[in-house]
């Protein structure tokens, strides 16, 4: 596959076609393309779905390699400028609508697939814990550099959330954590100490 892609990329005609088509692609065109792929020939989509595990593995490996190569060969300033220019053209309404559709599909799949729910319950905690460990390490590093950055980010996120659902979710999470043996008293004391120090600091004391 890599050899085929290498040869194709060398062709000026293909590069011109990609540049023109990718530049002119629209949300409506993407929707029409998905419907065509899904229903023009059902055998094709079944073949694609059957290859999803291999595709996910390959995509994960490709994403990791892409991140390593970009991080090694491009400057952070260049990456930042390029990312900012891309984000300006992203339609957030379409992204939200897509997230809603994917969430609805996921809920229906979980209801119709007890074995999938079992897999999520068995494998999910380990995957989530790995992500939390990586995320908390990053959060701590960011807080050490700029203590106000995380607070401002969380405030901005919460302003765009459903407050009722958020309240119930935080209560559910709090109850789940309270059921664990994580040194709750010690954690509470540390949190109280930090909040007190932050309040005194804001008052100039």
pLDDT, mean over the chain = 78
pLDDT value at residue 1: 65
Question: Could you tell me what percent of the chain has a pLDDT over 90?
Answer: 0
List, for residues 146-195, the tens digit of each pLDDT value: 877 777 777 887 787 778 887 888 788 777 777 766 666 677 777 778 87
* pLDDT class of 205 with cuts at 50, 70, 90: low
Distance CA 48, CA 60 (A): 17
- Alpha helices (runs of H) in the chain, residue ranges in sequence order: 2-9, 12-23, 27-39, 42-50, 52-73, 76-87, 92-112, 114-145, 147-159, 163-178, 184-202
pLDDT value at residue 184: 65
List, for residues 30-80, the tens digit of each pLDDT value: 788 777 777 777 777 777 777 777 877 888 888 888 888 888 888 878 878
Residue 202 has pLDDT above 80, yes or no: no
Q: What are all long-range contacts of 130-139, with beta carbons under 8 Å and residues at least 24 apart? A: none
Distance CA 125, CA 106 (A): 18
Residue 104 has pLDDT above 80, yes or no: yes
**The whole model's pTM is what?**
0.34
- Token couple for 153: 């980010």
């Amino acid at each position: 596959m890599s050899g085929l892609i290498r040869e194709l990329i060398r062709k000026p005609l293909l590069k011109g076609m990609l540049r023109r088509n990718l530049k002119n692609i629209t949300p409506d065109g993407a929707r029409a393309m998905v419907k065509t792929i899904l229903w023009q020939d059902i055998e094709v989509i079944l073949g694609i779905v059957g290859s999803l595990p291999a595709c996910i593995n390959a995509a994960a490996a490709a994403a990791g390699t892409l991140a390593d190569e970009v991080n090694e060969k491009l400057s952070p300033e260049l990456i930042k400028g390029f990312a900012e220019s891309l984000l300006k053209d992203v339609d957030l309404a379409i992204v939200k609508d897509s997230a809603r559709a994917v969430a609805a599909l996921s809920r229906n799949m979980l209801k119709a697939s007890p074995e999938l729910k079992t897999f999520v319950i068995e494998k999910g905690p380990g995957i989530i814990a790995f992500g939390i460990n990586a995320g908390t390490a990053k959060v701590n590093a960011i807080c050490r550099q700029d203590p106000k950055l995380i607070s401002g980010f969380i405030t901005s996120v919460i302003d765009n959330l459903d407050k009722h659902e958020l309240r119930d979710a935080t209560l559910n999470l709090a109850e789940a954590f309270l059921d664990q043996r994580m040194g709750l008293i010690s954690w509470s004391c540390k949190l109280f100490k930090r909040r007190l120090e932050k309040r005194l600091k804001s008052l100039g004391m």
